[in-house]
Amino acid sequence: MSDGRRTQVVLLDDKRVDLVVQPKLLAGDLLDLVVSYFSLREKEYFGLAFADESGHYNWLQLERKVLDHEFLQRSGTLILYFQVQFFCESIAQLRDSITIELFYLQAKGSIHKGDIEVDSETVFELAAYVLQATEGDFVSDPKSRNDLKTLPVLPQSTLREHPSLPYCEEKIIFYYKQLGGLSRGQAIIW
């Protein structure tokens, strides 16, 4: 077991799974191990990737051994990312709620990081849906502002484009108030 490499797999909810990857382990077998963590049946949409020096993701080839890939860092803990690799035309094509949840987490994270560019008004609306999905119906402005401080929903481009954080929060809360009665599932797929 000492000839393996310490590896950390970053999941879509930012949780991390620590393990030791043995030299003979295929990337497809590692993916199977990760998807079993979620009891995920629609694994064909997902993959494992590593970041290169420019921050771009490189997908592991499932038929190759994990440690045969060209990682930038040759020693130390290997960081891999479990992500959506193949998107579908419509969320209606997905059968399982966990798959929908993982697609939601990927989209939310991609918008926050700026990987997907969205105009500010759409960002405000989507942030309201995230609030609805995580916190339920609107209770009060102060609670919503406090909740927004803990949720990664505003990309840097939106914050640079608008006069202040309170302005952005006000726009999000405006949309959030209109979502009363939506269930968590409805807020995720809307």
**For residue range 117-165, what is the model confidence (pLDDT) as tens digits?**
999 999 999 999 999 999 999 999 999 999 999 998 999 999 999 979 9
The Cα 69–Cα 89 span in angstroms is: 30
Q: What is the pLDDT of residue 166?
A: 94
8-17: pLDDT as tens digits: 999 999 899 9
55-64: pLDDT as tens digits: 889 999 999 9
Q: What is the pLDDT of residue 55?
A: 82
Which of these, 13, 9, 10, lies nearest to 152 by C-alpha position? 13
Q: What is the pLDDT of residue 187?
A: 93
The model's pTM: 0.86
183: three-class secondary structure by DSSP = coil
The alpha-carbon radius of gyration of the chain (Å, integer) is 19
Q: What is the pLDDT of residue 174?
A: 97
Cβ atoms 4, 20 nearer than 8 A: yes
Mean pLDDT within 22-30 = 96
Q: What share of the chain has pLDDT > 70, as a percent?
A: 97
The model's confidence at residue 90, banded by pLDDT at 50, 70 and 90, is confident
Tell me what the pLDDT averaged over the chain comes to. Answer: 92
User: Running DSSP on this structure, what letter comes out for residue 61?
Assistant: P
Cβ atoms 46, 83 nearer than 8 A: yes
The model's confidence at residue 2, banded by pLDDT at 50, 70 and 90, is low
| Pairing mode of beta strands 5-10, 78-84 | parallel
| CA distances from residue 24 to 30, 35, 63, 79 in whole angstroms, order as listed | 11, 19, 11, 18
80-89: pLDDT as tens digits: 999 999 998 8
Residue with tokens 């998807």: 35
Cβ atoms 81, 51 nearer than 8 A: yes
Q: What is the pLDDT of residue 163?
A: 79
What would the two tokens of residue 161 be? 């484009």
Domains and CATH numbers, the chain: 5-84 (3.10.20.90), 117-189 (1.20.80.10)
Q: What is the pLDDT of residue 1?
A: 47
Report the run of H or E that residue 105 belongs to, with start and end: helix 97-113
